[in-house]
Each structure stands twice: as structure tokens, then as C-alpha cells.
Amino acid sequence: MKKELICISCPQGCRLTAEYAADPAQAEVSGNRCPRGKTYAITELTDPRRVVTAVVPTTDSARPVLPVRTSEPFPKGKIAELLNELYKIKVTPPISLGEVIQKNALDTGIDIISAENRN
């Protein structure tokens, strides 16, 4: 099998080619300008993930939403469900940069963290 991919791990956007017999985890990857390209190609073929960013409502009317993110790339197939959960949260300042807003989201072991400081 031969798959063409574009690495999204950094703005370079390398064009990758992944070749494998049966198991994508064993793919030979070319076209990557750094080792992260190989990791990306294999993850993308076996267990695609994305960093999810969103805003959640706050109780502070002057700054009504807080930007949040997943602590790591999140399984792509569960993003819609995650967003539904996130929009139900309401947070109350003070909140600091990196503070966990929701632990172990959807049992993935990945946390939702604050991307800003709020007093």
C-alpha cells in the first residue's frame, strides 16, 4: 500500500509518502524533513488525532468565554462528543494558564486545560 499524506505537525507541511505491506504501523515514510513526520504518518494511518481548541463559558460577564485546549492530540473520532461535553461546562475565575478544567476527558487519559490566565 502507498499513501500520500501532508504532515500537519508544523507549518512546513511536508508531503509524505507512506508505504507498507499490511500493517501501517510498519510503514516506510519518506518526504519528511524531520522525525516528527514519520510519527505523524504512522499515527495518522493507525489512530488519527488532533489538538482540539475551543472556548468555554465563564461566570465573568466582562470576559464571557475562556479558551481551552486538549493537553495532547485527541482521538479524531471522539472530537464531536468532546465538543458537546465542553459546551456544557461553565468556569469561574480565577483560573491560571495550564490549569486542568476537566480531567481525563471521555476516559482518554487526556485533560482539558485552560489556555489563558483569568483573575
Partner 1 sequence: MKNISCDVLVVGAGAAGLCAGSVTSKHGLDTIIIDREDQPGGILKQCIHNGFGLRYFKEELTGPEYACRVAKLAADAGAKIMTGTTAVEAKKNADGSFTFKVFSQKEKVCYISSKAVLFTTGCRERTRGNIITPGTRPAGVFTAGAAQKLLNISGYLPGKCAVIVGSGDIGLIMARRLKWCGIDVKAVVEIMRHPSGLTRNIVQCLDDFGIPLYLGHSVTNIYGKERVEAVDITPLADGKPDFSKTFKVDCDTLLFSVGLVPEVELAKQLEVKINPATGGAFVDDDYETTTPMVFASGNGLHVHDLVDFVSEESERAAGSICRRLSGAKNSDKVPVTVEKTLKYVVPTQATRGEKQSFYFRPLIVANKATLEARADGKIIKKRLIPFVRPAEMLEFELEIPAECKEMEFALTGGELL
State the residues that interact with ligand SF4 by CB under 6 A.
Answer: 7, 9-10, 12-14, 32-34, 36-37, 40
Interface with partner 1 includes 13 (CB under 8 A)? yes
Give the number of other CB atoms < 10 A from CB of residue 63: 11
Q: What is the rounded distance in angstroms from the CA atom of residue 99 to the CA atom of residue 95?
A: 7
Closest CA to 40 of 56, 27, 52, 53: 27
Give the number of other CB atoms < 10 A from CB of residue 51: 12
Residue type for 26, please? Answer: Q
Q: Which of residues 29-48 bind partner 1 (CB under 8 A)?
A: 33
**Binding test (CB under 8 A) with partner 1, winner from 20, 69, 78, 99:** 69
Which residues are at the interface with partner 1 (CB under 8 A)?
6-8, 10-11, 13, 15, 33, 50-55, 57, 63-65, 67, 69, 76, 79, 83, 97, 115-117
